[in-house]
Amino acid sequence: MGYLAVKGAEEAILAARSLAGPTGGRQAVTAVAEHLPLVVDEIQAEAGVYEPRLAAIAFTQARGDLAEAVFLLRGYRSTLPRRAAARVHTGELEPERRISSAFRNVPGGQILGATNDYGLRLLDPELGTRDDAVPDPAAGGGGTLPKVLDHLRAEGLVAPPTGAGPADDITRRALRFPATRSARLQALARGQTGTMTAFAYANLRGYGPFHPTLVELRVGALPLTVDHPRTGRPVRVGTLPVTEAEAVGQRPTREGGTLGVGYGCVPGRGERKAVAMAVLDAVLAGVNDDAPFTSPLQDEEFVLAHVDGVEAAGFVEHMKLPHEVTFASDLDRVRAIRQNVEGP
Amino acid sequence: MTLLSTLVARADQRAGYSYAFLDEHTKRELRRRTLKAVAIPGHQVAFGSREMPLARGWGTGGVQLTLSLVGPGDAVKVIDQGDDASMNAVNVRALVSRTTGVRTTRDTAEATLIQTRHRIPDDRLRPGAIVVLQVPFPEPLRLVEPSDAVTRRMHAERDYAKMWLYLYENIARYGRIALSYRYPCMVDGTVLMDPTPIPRHDVAKLHQSQHLHLFGAGREQRVYAVPPYTDVTPLDFEDHPFEVEQAGAACVRCGSDTSYRTEIPGHGWLCSDTAYCDTRSPA
C-alpha cells in the first residue's frame, strides 16, 4: 500500500532511507575534496558557507546530488552563530587569473591562470585508465592590480562607487521588495548556478535589454578584515577565494550618456555564476533599459525570488508529499462543475 | 573521385575523426542549406547545428560553415577582433588545422577562406575568397521582439515598423541612434539582416562586395548569406544619417587613420586588424 499504510510507515521510511544511504566514506570525501574542487566551490557558494571539507562531505553524503548537498550545508549553517561582519576591499585581491574583454590589453596584463576556455573540448576516454594525479597547490597571486573599471571612471564614463552603508543580511532578515542593492547582491551570490545562467542567458539572447561587456573577471584570494571585539582595531582574519566580475553597458540619456555597471562576486571559483550575476545585477539596475518590450528579467521580484536553489528544489519536490486532502477538495469542485455543465 | 580519395586518406591519418571533424552527410547538408541562403540574400535558413568541441556561443556556427567548405587546396585565416593571435582565433584555427591538415595563414591577401568574429579585414581580400562570420544573434528584430515565431512573421510580411520606431525613439530620447555594433541592415532592399557584432565601420564592406559573406549561428541554428555584388544598406534617416565609429587617434604603430582602431589603456589606439597593421609597420 506504499506510504498510505498507517501502520509500518516508520519502518518503511527507515528502509527507504537505508536504500538511499551514501556508500562513500573517507576515500570518497578525500577524492571529492582533492579532485573536484569546482563542485566543492559551487556547493559552498550556493550554501553561503565556506568550508571545503564540509562541502565535500555534503556532496558525498548526497551521492552527487548537487541541490541536496547545498541543502545539507545550508541546514548545517543554521547551527552556526554569526560572529561578525567582515570588511573587504576587492582592490586588495591578488589575482591568479584576471582577464578583460573590453580591451586587448590592460595595465597589469591579461592573466589567463587556470582555464579550459581556449582549448578544444574533446572527451578524453583515456582519463578513466590513468592514475589520479596529485593536484597542484593553489597558485598564489602576484600582487594587486589596478581595476580596469578605474580607467573608465577616470574619464567620467562610469559613476564612482556610492558609499556602502551597513549591508543587509537576508539570512537574518527576510528579503523584502523593493530590495536594497546589498540584499540583491547577496541573493544573487547565493543563487543557484544553473538558474542564474538561464536567467542571464535569456536576457542576453533576447528576453531582456542587456548585452554587456565584461570589463574584468578576476579570480583570487580576498583578504577579510573584522574589528576586534574588545579593542575595536581592524584585524585581518584570513582570506576568502572569490571570483569577481564587472560588466558594463550603455546607459544613454539625452543629458549625457554613461556606462552602467553590473557586479558579480561569488566565493570560490565560479566564473559562470559570477558573470551571470554581473549581468543580472546590471539588468535589475536598469542598464541598457530601452527595449520596447517588458521582460520578467527586469523585475527584481521575479529574479530574486526564484534564484535560490534550495527553495526552488524544495518546493518543486514537495509535489511528492501527500496531497490527498487538497486533491479531494479539487475533485469536489470538478465533479460539481461537471454536473452543472451537463445538467442534472 | 581524386578529391574524395584524398579526403578519405586524410581522414585515415586522424584516427577516429572524419576529415574536417563533421561527417560527410552533415557537411553536405550544411552546404545545401548554405546554397539556399545564398539564393535568398539575408534570409535566415535553419540547419541542424551540431555540438562542436568549442563552447556554444564561441563560434560553433562559423566553424561548422568553415569545416563544411574547406578543401585541401584552401588557405584558412582565422581572426577574432581582427587579431590572428587572439586566443579564440588560435583555438578555432587549431581545430580546423588538426582535423583537415590544410594550410593556415595570417596573410589576408593569401587566404581563400577567412573565419572571423566581430571584424571584416581592413586589407583587400584575394579574389574569390569567402568570409565566414560567427553569429551570436541571427535575428536583427531580436532587439525589439523576443519571440522567434513573431519575428518570422514580421520578416514574411516585411514588417520592420518596430525597428524603425526603435531607431526613431532612440533619436527622440538620446538625440542619437544608440546602436553601436550589430547595426541592422537591409539586404537587397528586401530582407532586414543582422550583420553580426561587426563595428559600424565594417558595414560598408558588405555593400556590393566582390566576396561571398556567410553567416553561421551554431547556438541559434541558422545560416544566412550576402552574395557578391549585393546591396547592403544600414537603416537610417535622411536627417540622421548612419554614423561610423570615430577612433581617438591614428594607430600608434602604423599611423593608419582609416582602419578600425581600439584603445589600449595607457598606450593609445591600435589597429584591430593586426595583419593589416603588420603590413604597414616596419618589422
Task: Report whether pLDDT(A134) > 50.
Answer: yes
Of B16, B42, B128, B216, which is the active-site residue?
Answer: B42
Phi and psi of A54, rounded to 5°?
A: -65, -35
A74-78, A155-159, B63-67, range with the lowest pLDDT? A155-159
For residues B266 and B195, membership in a common domain is answered with no
For residues B131 and B12, membership in a common domain is answered with yes
Task: Report whether pLDDT(B246) > 50.
Answer: yes
Residue A248: pLDDT band with limits 50, 70, 90: very high
Task: Report whether pLDDT(B8) > 90.
Answer: no
Domain residues for B274?
Answer: 246-283
pLDDT at A132: 94
- Contact at 8 Å (CB) between B222 and B46? yes
* Tens digit of each residue's pLDDT (9 = 90 or more) over A257-314: 789 999 999 999 999 999 999 999 999 988 877 788 888 999 999 999 999 999 999 9
pLDDT at A139: 67
Does residue B42 lie in a domain region? yes
Q: Check the CA dihedral B141-B146-B148-B153 and report its sign.
A: negative
- Contact at 8 Å (CB) between A250 and A287? yes
- Contact at 8 Å (CB) between A99 and A112? yes
ipTM strictly over 0.90? no
Q: Would you call A205 and B137 a contact, using CB atoms and an 8 Å cutoff?
A: yes
Does residue B23 lie in a domain region? yes
Residues B5-24 have a mean pLDDT of 68
For residues B125 and B9, membership in a common domain is answered with yes
Task: Report whether pLDDT(A181) > 60.
Answer: yes
Q: Would you call A290 and B173 a contact, using CB atoms and an 8 Å cutoff?
A: yes
**A117 min Cα distance to partner chain B (Å):** 8
For residues B198 and B72, membership in a common domain is answered with yes
Average pLDDT, chain B: 93
Burial class (CB in 10 A: 0-12, 13-18, 19+), B71: middle
To the query of whether residue B254 is one of the catalytic residues in this protein, the response is yes
Does residue B56 lie in a domain region? yes
- pLDDT above 90 covers a percentage of chain B that reads 87
For residues B217 and B252, membership in a common domain is answered with no
To the query of whether residue B251 is one of the catalytic residues in this protein, the response is yes
- Contact at 8 Å (CB) between A261 and A180? no
For residues B115 and B250, membership in a common domain is answered with no
Q: Which amino acid is at A308?
A: D
Q: What is the CA radius of gyration of chain B?
A: 19
For residues B190 and B99, membership in a common domain is answered with yes
Nearest CA in chain B to A211: B143
Task: Report whether pLDDT(B190) > 60.
Answer: yes
Does residue B161 lie in a domain region? no
To the query of whether residue B185 is one of the catalytic residues in this protein, the response is no
* Tens digit of each residue's pLDDT (9 = 90 or more) over A230-247: 999 999 999 999 999 999
pLDDT at A309: 96
For residues B281 and B214, membership in a common domain is answered with no
For residues B213 and B262, membership in a common domain is answered with no
Given B88, B143, B145, which is nearest A118 (Cβ)?
Answer: B88
b/e map B119-156, b = 16+ CB within 10 Å: bbbbbebbeebbbbbbbbbbbbbbbbbbebeebeebbe
Quote the crossing angle between the two packed helices A66-77 and A52-61, to the nearest 10°.
130
pLDDT at A138: 67
Three-state SS at A258:
strand
Nearest CA in chain A to B96: A120
Residue B266: pLDDT band with limits 50, 70, 90: confident
b/e map A111-149, b = 16+ CB within 10 Å: bebeeeebeeeeeeeeeeeeeeeeeeeeeebeeebebbb
Given B87, B178, B267, which is nearest A250 (Cβ)?
Answer: B178
* Tens digit of each residue's pLDDT (9 = 90 or more) over A106-132: 999 999 999 988 888 888 899 999 999
What span, in angstroms and rounded, lies between the C-alpha atoms of B146 and A293? 8
Residues of B in contact with A250 (CB under 8 A): 178, 180
Residue A1: pLDDT band with limits 50, 70, 90: very low
The grid coordinates of residue A64 equal: 552527487
Q: What is the CATH number of the domain that holds B192?
A: 3.40.50
For residues B130 and B38, membership in a common domain is answered with yes
Residues of B in contact with A112 (CB under 8 A): 87
Residues B257-278 have a mean pLDDT of 94
* Tens digit of each residue's pLDDT (9 = 90 or more) over A205-226: 999 877 889 999 999 999 999 9
The grid coordinates of residue B262 equal: 581600439
For residues B269 and B217, membership in a common domain is answered with no
pLDDT at B14: 52
Nearest CA in chain B to A203: B146
Residues A13-42 have a mean pLDDT of 95
**A3 min Cα distance to partner chain B (Å):** 44
pLDDT at A165: 77
* Tens digit of each residue's pLDDT (9 = 90 or more) over A28-46: 999 999 999 999 999 999 9
**A218 min Cα distance to partner chain B (Å):** 18
To the query of whether residue B271 is one of the catalytic residues in this protein, the response is yes
Total of domains in chain B: 2
- Between the CA of residue A30 and those of A56, A64, A213, A333, what are the distances in Å? 8, 14, 39, 55
Residue B7: pLDDT band with limits 50, 70, 90: low
Given A107, A207, A295, which is nearest B265 (Cβ)?
Answer: A107
Task: Report whether pLDDT(B35) > 50.
Answer: yes
Given A151, A207, A254, which is nearest B174 (Cβ)?
Answer: A254
Nearest CA in chain A to B265: A106
Does residue B165 lie in a domain region? no
Tell how far CA A40 is from the center of its chain.
13
* Tens digit of each residue's pLDDT (9 = 90 or more) over B67-123: 999 999 999 999 999 999 998 899 999 999 999 999 999 999 999 999 999 999 999
User: pTM, whole model, 2 decimals?
Assistant: 0.91
Residue B2: pLDDT band with limits 50, 70, 90: very low
**B167 min Cα distance to partner chain A (Å):** 11
The grid coordinates of residue B1 equal: 573521385
Q: Would you call A120 and B87 a contact, using CB atoms and an 8 Å cutoff?
A: no
Residue B1: pLDDT band with limits 50, 70, 90: very low
The grid coordinates of residue B142 equal: 531580436
Does residue B264 lie in a domain region? yes
pLDDT at A85: 86
Task: Report whether pLDDT(B12) > 60.
Answer: no
Residue B154: pLDDT band with limits 50, 70, 90: very high
For residues B211 and B250, membership in a common domain is answered with no
